Chains A and B, each alone.
Chain A
Amino acid sequence: MKKLFFALYLLGCGTFLTAQDYFPENAGVKVNNNNYTAFTNAKIFVTPTQIIEKGTLLIQHGKVVSASNSVNLPKNAVVIDLQGKSIYPSFIDVYSKFGVEQAKKKPGRGRSTEYEPSREGYYWNDHIMPETKAIEKFTYDDKEAKVLREAGFGVVNSHLQDGIARGTGVLIALNGNGTNANRILDDRSAQYFSLTRSIAKGQSYPGSLMGTLALLRQMYSDADWYAKGNATTTDLSLEALNANKDLVQIFEAKDKSHDLRADKIGDANGIQYTILGGGNEFERIEEIKATNAKYILPLNFPDAYDVSNPYAVGYVSLQDMRYWNQAPSNPKVLAENGIQFSLTTHDLKSPAKFKEKLMKAIEYGLSSTKALEALTTVPAQILGKSNEIGSLKSGSIANFLITSGDVFDKETTLYENWVQGAKSVVNSMDAKDIRGDYNLTVQGKTYDVSITGEISKPAIVVKQDTTKLSSKIAYDANWVTMSFATDKGEKTYRMIGAVTKTSDNLTGRLVLPDGTESQFTATKSKSFTKKEDEKNKSNEGVKIMPVTFPNVGYGFAAKPKAENTLFKNATVWTSEEAGNLENTDVLVKNGKIVKIGKDLSAGGATVIDATGKHLTAGIIDEHSHIAALAVNEAGQNSSAEVKMEDVVDPEHMGIYHSLAGGVTSLQLLHGSANPIGGRSAILKLKWGEEADGLIYENSPKFIKFALGENVKQSNWGSYSRFPQTRMGVEQMYMNYFQRAKEYDTKKKNGEPYRYDEEMEVLAEIINGERFISCHSYVQSEINMMMKVAEHFGFRINTFTHILEGYKVADKMVEHGVGAGTFSDWWAYKFEVNDAIPYNAAIMQKQGVVTAINSDDREMIRRLNQEAAKTIKYGGMSELEAWKMVTINPAKLLHLDNRVGSIKEGKDADLVLWSGSPLSIYSKAEKTMIEGVTYFDLETDKKNRETIKKERNELVTMMLKEKSGGKKTQGPKQSVKRDFTCESL
């Protein structure tokens, strides 16, 4: 044993000494190992597509000398015969945190919010840390490296996974025999970004996704400004960011729509990020392809849900069930679409799970060539290191795997993983393949023994006649240990034997249940063969559910298209001077209302008999927070730089529910956590489109402002942020607008200035290019806001909520501001004590353009009913009441030339109702946007059946998964948070 150890030691040492040849040697004589190692007779994958059958790989000094069919072996070559075995380049993980000390969560934030940065000499925001160098936090950990090597990895690119700008990574060869001097391949390997705040830092901004995106935009703009020498102070963060510009830029996005968000930031700054995906890219493959980015894909496929309890099944949504079924197809779909990607162990519990997950991806259609590329050539390319790693071309670092066969086959054994020419054994190559069928005779009884599985980790089945007995096998260092039990587990027979090269039979010591010792012989009757038909069967067995748009229940099988439609004989609520038209036809062509009249000819359009039904313009909600991934950027008291357009969630069920209530457009507003909120997204509820597809073309520009209790933070225990009173709110506005005015003057005069997105937006307001929708309650603040605007020469566009608008309606008319209000809400906080349901009617009668809005995911479904309340409270006429949810909000949003009424030339955003839209007894039967039917009562009924059927099919599949012994996860109901103004 000692001898062997010594030999290994020499061999190990010999591989790396060269790197430190200028170091003094005091432990012996100084030597260099200039020998070659030759691996002969192997199937060599030089690259995934360049394969040499029966070739020789020659390495020296930790590098590949050659890989070819005919190698003239140098005399000083140690030859290793790999007859029947394969050599692959070892795998590369671009997204690792190996060896790099990770951030620790900052303990207890306490009650007071940190608005200021904690650092000096760096960027103003603590979550921007491009100066971080992973190398400075790196300590090699061979225990971890061993796990990675056993999973087939030879090189990982590691970084500190914390913060929005994360600094540079370090590229490490997992060489257990080397030192950092040679295993660090690059100490500045890539620059990393993410959408997630630092857990180690407490600064409150950014507190939302849209804040993060705004911060990234500002960061790049500041870096540019800094690079041009405009700053008077030193900023080490920006300096690092600029210095790292030449590196590969990797962005952790982790979700299909975040991928697109990240790519957009890159596009705006001339950067093509490599993107860490989320695994759900297949759901929006067209858009993903259009990013032209390379991807890094996790294999974190979810386990099946345990659906054995029928009550619990109801909690699991079709979306989640389907995701379980579809997720393993993600790599395949990307490959089919020609998108380059690498694979990562990121987000797996352990790299040890990697093979299992990868096999699943292959089972779901990923070709093994693509899989190998994703683990070798592509990551090498991403890192710009194709000449050094990822292949076995001459000159490459000698990182390779020796396997018993196809590296992606379940039964294949990984024998050795060589890194930088240093061997590490995963499974002994000397282990004899003992798999096969045997006859075992014990005490006159014959047993059938079948050994299967991996060579080094075999599995055993022992049968007596046809009865399967409980049995165990272990195989290590050419000793096999087996046991089985008869008589219902009462009697255990134990065996141990040495495996010899000379005989295929297994023999050795047998211990009988009574303790008597004797000998056993298991005679081999059949060698192990893989059951080909079984493999084929499992391929056929995979059923992948089709993706819908969006990929949730009630999604469309294909994106719906506009249809030319003629509504015949309806009661048409025009929301125009014309009022209601009885027995009237409306013709829709190419998404527009082209004709309104009697007895129109269809001219090829689909005819809908609307006799007895009512046709209206689609409802418009001036104030909504549905379909958003975030609502408040509360990290600062002004957040004009953030955009709700950045956080539109096109999969939110609120969209479908709103369509079912006849809503076609809405203003997605920022919340009311700060006096100056964020910019709005004005949406059409095009269910099935990607986020950007919902946003109005040439959208009017809006921003949310807020007054009162929320911005004063009256109802939560915060006492540190300015303003705490309505007096402070006024001063904050005066200050911000004054600064914006000064900024704008500087800009217009051509003086040098630092681009500030926030100031840009405020200047737009002063210049009348952007409109304010201002959350407001009591009359004093309403009046104040108008005076501030007048001071700076602009006009408030809309007061939203405005529950005391009725007290200052005359002043509002004078100022020229409109109102969006609740029908009957009050009593929920102190400032709504004087809120009255007559508010809308009073304002309308005084000449304020008034809309009824929702600010509520449920109420938005019934805005027709809320409009009807203005008849009860304040005696509005039916026609005026209906305008409160159609043309009036369209006017408030500056969209009245496009939507909000039934008029020739306008967008065909229409709702067909079973009766008067103001009646509680009426239902929306059909909701159309630009000629596309997005909701239809009949289709909805069919969808209910389809959902039931698909759920049942998936439940059956998951039950099978469980009974097949696969791991499952407990049932759960995913929840998207519902937002209101106040949600943080």
Chain B
Amino acid sequence: MKKLITLVIAIGFIIPTIGQQTPGPKQTEAITIEGATAHLGNGEVIESSLIMFEDGKITFVGDSKMRIARKGKVIDATGKHVYPGFIAPAKTLGLVEIDAVRASNDEDEIGDFIPHVRSLIAYNAESKVVESMRPNGVLIAQIAPTGGRISGTSSIVQFDAWNWEDAAIKVDDGVHLNWPSTFKQGRWWAGEDPGYHPNKDYSDQIEEVTSFFKNAAAYGKSTPKEVNPAYAAMQGIFDGTQKLYVHADDEKQIIDAINTLKSNGAKDVVLIGGYHAYKIPEFLKSNNIPVLVQYTHNLPVFDDDDYDLPYKLPKLLVDAGLLVGIQNSDAENFQTRNLPFYAGQAAQQGLDKEIAVQLLTGNTAKILGIDDLYGTLENGKSATLFISEGDALEMSGNQLTHVFIDGRLVSLETHQTELWKRYMGKYEGK
């Protein structure tokens, strides 16, 4: 820790107190990072790189051998690694603080078709769970409501802000739809067989979705006398300004979902989950569907599945030529800081490490529609990046020294590091 403070002082930033969640000040001076292995987030890597940024935007990305002037403060990152900020799709970070404390939970509103319910205004930019993402390199997330058939509308935020308004980098980016299940689990606590049986209501439930889409589309074509907020909130799905995120896992679900949604006017559909997506890559490709694949640290869903099927899903989909990102919407929020290790696990299965990085950065930004500014280390993009002592996809290598969001130097302190220091101080008499 000492080392970090020394470093920070050495390069001229003075953070008065290591305040929890105090957002970094706007970038006023150019910064140069020299000598690091730069993982660009687009599948490329520069072994010894030179990266410069000013006013929150990247102005140069190239080889450190480039003989050009180093602007502003120079950080010598020789032997270290630079990455674009990792992006977490479909999370409820900031919507719930402590899972078991109902009063702290704002993730699931009543109602089955409620696209008008918006996550952004409930997002707690000062959440202790949110700040704990940053020391692991997770700097951006899509915050999405959960539950029901259409859960609501998500927004995309960065993790260093005074409030939700400042945090937002894309407001109301998309609507989240949970596709009906083909199989349903019995309620063991009610004495039912806990196994999965075919969902008898499946076609009725699809019919409900279809009917909702048709009504919303018809509503949009008229000049309504009375506002219907749910239908109104769907219009971006039809004109392509918002994405439709459909959560589906099994083969039949995926095919039904894509066919139904496409034929009912959804322009831009993203598949979230996709446990069986590897079985139908051609279908997904021909429909131009990107996949935010179910997270890798999951159990195989079926006993006869390969034990490592969840580990290798990302690779299977990448190999099939799909646009893939990694998400962990099913996991508890605190687990989102482990996103880098999911990519590492995918690399363990033979996925190229730079592609693995891409599944947390460039690809995810593209899928979420924020690739104009985020996701890769490229000229003109936001300086949202971090420096790690080692390979950030490895537990032992993921040791961050600097985090920048939109060019602002972000504190790496958290509620957790403070307690750590406090008690180490107790024992070591400091």
Q: A553-B303, A923-B348 are in contact. Are A312 and B416 (CB under 8 A)?
A: no
Query: Is A828 on the interface with B (CB-CB < 8 A)?
Result: yes
Query: Is B268 on the interface with A (CB-CB < 8 A)?
Result: no
**Nearest CB on B from A823, distance (A):** 9
Question: What is the CA–CA distance of A458 and B337 in the complex, to the nearest angstrom?
Answer: 72
Which of B100, B303, B396 is within 8 Å of A872, CB to CB? B396
Contact A972 B395 (CB under 8 A): no
Question: What is the CA–CA distance of A826 and B427 in the complex, to the nearest angstrom?
Answer: 23
Contact B420 A660 (CB under 8 A): no
Query: Is B423 on the interface with A (CB-CB < 8 A)?
Result: yes
Query: Is A318 on the interface with B (CB-CB < 8 A)?
Result: yes
**Nearest CB on B from A949, distance (A):** 12
What residues of B have a CB within 8 angstroms of the CB of A528 in the complex?
none
Interface locus among B23-31, B233-241, B338-346, B364-372: B338-346
**Nearest CB on A from B10, distance (A):** 21
Interface locus among B171-179, B188-196, B221-229: B188-196
Near B by CB (< 8 A), chain A positions 299-328 give 311-312, 314-315, 317-319
For A311, A552, A859, A862, which residue has the most chain B Cβ atoms within 10 angstroms?
Answer: A311
Contact A971 B297 (CB under 8 A): no
Please count how many residues in chain A sit with their CB below 8 Å of the partner chain's CB atoms: 67
Question: What is the CA–CA distance of A857 and B301 in the complex, to the nearest angstrom?
Answer: 13
Contact B395 A715 (CB under 8 A): no
Contact B416 A657 (CB under 8 A): no
Query: Is A290 on the interface with B (CB-CB < 8 A)?
Result: no
Question: Range of interface residues on chain B?
Answer: 35 or more
Which of B183, B302, B427 is within 8 Å of A317, CB to CB? B302
Which of A657, A838, A975 is within 8 Å of B195, CB to CB? A975
Question: What is the CA–CA distance of A834 and B414 in the complex, to the nearest angstrom?
Answer: 11
Contact A829 B98 (CB under 8 A): yes
What residues of A have a CB within 8 angstroms of the CB of B427 in the complex?
809-810, 842, 845-846
Question: What is the CA–CA distance of A845 and B399 in the complex, to the nearest angstrom?
Answer: 20
Interface locus among A22-30, A232-240, A913-921: A913-921
Interface locus among A80-88, A435-443, A614-622, A863-871: A863-871
Contact A869 B98 (CB under 8 A): no
Which of A714, A842, A971 is within 8 Å of B198, CB to CB? A971
Question: What is the CA–CA distance of A311 and B198 in the complex, to the nearest angstrom?
Answer: 11
Contact B416 A951 (CB under 8 A): no
What residues of A have a CB within 8 angstroms of the CB of B338 in the complex?
824
Q: A312-B198, A977-B194 are in contact. Are A828 and B420 (CB under 8 A)?
A: no
Question: What is the CA–CA distance of A345 and B197 in the complex, to the nearest angstrom?
Answer: 27
**Nearest CB on B from A866, distance (A):** 8
Contact A970 B396 (CB under 8 A): no
Contact B195 A920 (CB under 8 A): no
Near B by CB (< 8 A), chain A positions 967-984 give 970-978
**Nearest CB on B from A98, distance (A):** 25
Contact A653 B303 (CB under 8 A): yes
Query: Is B285 on the interface with A (CB-CB < 8 A)?
Result: no
Q: A312-B198, A315-B183, A858-B298 are in contact. Are A918 and B396 (CB under 8 A)?
A: yes
Contact B416 A837 (CB under 8 A): yes
Q: A553-B304, A871-B396 are in contact. Are A311 and B100 (CB under 8 A)?
A: no
Contact A833 B98 (CB under 8 A): yes
Query: Is A339 on the interface with B (CB-CB < 8 A)?
Result: no
Query: Is A806 on the interface with B (CB-CB < 8 A)?
Result: yes
Contact A920 B345 (CB under 8 A): yes
Which of A807, A881, A921 is within 8 Å of B344, CB to CB? A921
For A318, A829, A872, which residue has the most chain B Cβ atoms within 10 angstroms?
Answer: A872
**Nearest CB on B from A803, distance (A):** 11
**Nearest CB on A from B178, distance (A):** 19
Contact A868 B195 (CB under 8 A): no
Question: What is the CA–CA distance of A974 and B195 in the complex, to the nearest angstrom?
Answer: 4
Query: Is A126 on the interface with B (CB-CB < 8 A)?
Result: no
**Nearest CB on A from B129, distance (A):** 5
Contact B195 A972 (CB under 8 A): yes
What residues of B have a CB within 8 angstroms of the CB of A874 in the complex?
420
Q: Which residue of B lies closest to A864 (CB)?
A: B395
Contact B304 A318 (CB under 8 A): yes
Q: Which residue of B lies closest to A971 (CB)?
A: B198
**Nearest CB on A from B193, distance (A):** 8
Which of B100, B129, B183, B395 is within 8 Å of A865, CB to CB? B395
What residues of B have a CB within 8 angstroms of the CB of A978 in the complex?
299
Q: A865-B341, A868-B396, A871-B396 are in contact. Are A828 and B98 (CB under 8 A)?
A: yes
What residues of B have a CB within 8 angstroms of the CB of A318 in the complex?
303-304
Query: Is A940 on the interface with B (CB-CB < 8 A)?
Result: yes
Query: Is B282 on the interface with A (CB-CB < 8 A)?
Result: no
Write out, one digit per residue, whether chain B residues 163-205 have a CB within 8 A of any chain A CB (1) or not (0).
0000000000000000000110100100001111110000000
Question: What is the CA–CA distance of A543 and B144 in the complex, to the nearest angstrom?
Answer: 52
Write out, one digit per residue, whether chain B residues 328-356 have a CB within 8 A of any chain A CB (1) or not (0).
00001110011001001101100000000
Near A by CB (< 8 A), chain B positions 233-259 give 250-252
**Nearest CB on B from A980, distance (A):** 12
Contact A842 B423 (CB under 8 A): yes
Q: A828-B98, A862-B297, A947-B304 are in contact. Are A311 and B182 (CB under 8 A)?
A: yes
Question: What is the CA–CA distance of A919 and B394 in the complex, to the nearest angstrom?
Answer: 7
What residues of B have a CB within 8 angstroms of the CB of A520 in the complex?
none
Question: What is the CA–CA distance of A978 and B299 in the complex, to the nearest angstrom?
Answer: 11
Question: What is the CA–CA distance of A809 and B423 in the complex, to the nearest angstrom?
Answer: 10
Q: Which residue of A lies closest to B198 (CB)?
A: A970
Query: Is A335 on the interface with B (CB-CB < 8 A)?
Result: no
Question: What is the CA–CA distance of A312 and B276 in the complex, to the nearest angstrom?
Answer: 13
Q: Which residue of B lies closest to A658 (CB)?
A: B307
Question: What is the CA–CA distance of A67 and B13 in the complex, to the nearest angstrom?
Answer: 109
Write out, one digit per residue, whether chain B residues 298-316 have a CB within 8 A of any chain A CB (1) or not (0).
1110111011100000000
Query: Is A412 on the interface with B (CB-CB < 8 A)?
Result: no
Contact A975 B194 (CB under 8 A): yes
Contact A973 B196 (CB under 8 A): yes
Near A by CB (< 8 A), chain B positions 348-403 give 348, 393-396, 398-399
Near A by CB (< 8 A), chain B positions 270-308 give 297-300, 302-304, 306-308
Question: What is the CA–CA distance of A275 and B338 in the complex, to the nearest angstrom?
Answer: 51
Question: What is the CA–CA distance of A381 and B183 in the complex, to the nearest angstrom?
Answer: 47
What residues of A have a CB within 8 angstroms of the CB of B300 in the complex?
657
Contact B304 A872 (CB under 8 A): no
Query: Is B218 on the interface with A (CB-CB < 8 A)?
Result: no
Q: Which residue of B lies closest to A916 (CB)?
A: B396
Question: What is the CA–CA distance of A311 and B128 in the complex, to the nearest angstrom?
Answer: 43
Q: Which residue of A lies closest to B97 (CB)?
A: A827
Contact B416 A838 (CB under 8 A): yes
Q: A312-B198, A970-B197, A973-B196 are in contact. Are A319 and B396 (CB under 8 A)?
A: no
What residues of B have a CB within 8 angstroms of the CB of A186 in the complex?
none
**Nearest CB on B from A804, distance (A):** 9
What residues of B have a CB within 8 angstroms of the CB of A872 in the complex?
395-396, 398-399
Write out, one digit per residue, whether chain A residues 542-586 have a CB within 8 A of any chain B CB (1) or not (0).
000000000011000000000000000000000000000000000
Contact B341 A828 (CB under 8 A): no
**Nearest CB on B from A700, distance (A):** 30
**Nearest CB on A from B322, distance (A):** 20
Which of B299, B302, B308, B395 is within 8 Å of A868, CB to CB? B395
Contact B299 A973 (CB under 8 A): no
Query: Is A526 on the interface with B (CB-CB < 8 A)?
Result: no
Question: What is the CA–CA distance of A978 and B188 in the complex, to the nearest angstrom?
Answer: 12
Query: Is B69 on the interface with A (CB-CB < 8 A)?
Result: no
Question: What is the CA–CA distance of A878 and B195 in the complex, to the nearest angstrom?
Answer: 42
Closest 9 CB pairs of A and B: A829-B100, A868-B395, A920-B344, A973-B196, A838-B420, A871-B396, A836-B416, A553-B304, A827-B334
Beyond A838-B417, A921-B347, 4 additional pairs, beta carbon < 8 A? A312-B182, A806-B423, A838-B420, A972-B196
5 contacts between A and B (CB under 8 A): A311-B182, A553-B303, A871-B396, A918-B395, A976-B194
Chain A residues close to B by CB (< 8 Å): 311-312, 314-315, 317-319, 552-553, 653, 656-657, 660, 709, 714-715, 806-807, 809-810, 824-830, 833-834, 836-838, 842, 845-846, 857-859, 861-862, 865, 868-869, 871-872, 874, 878, 881, 918-923, 940, 944, 947, 951, 970-978
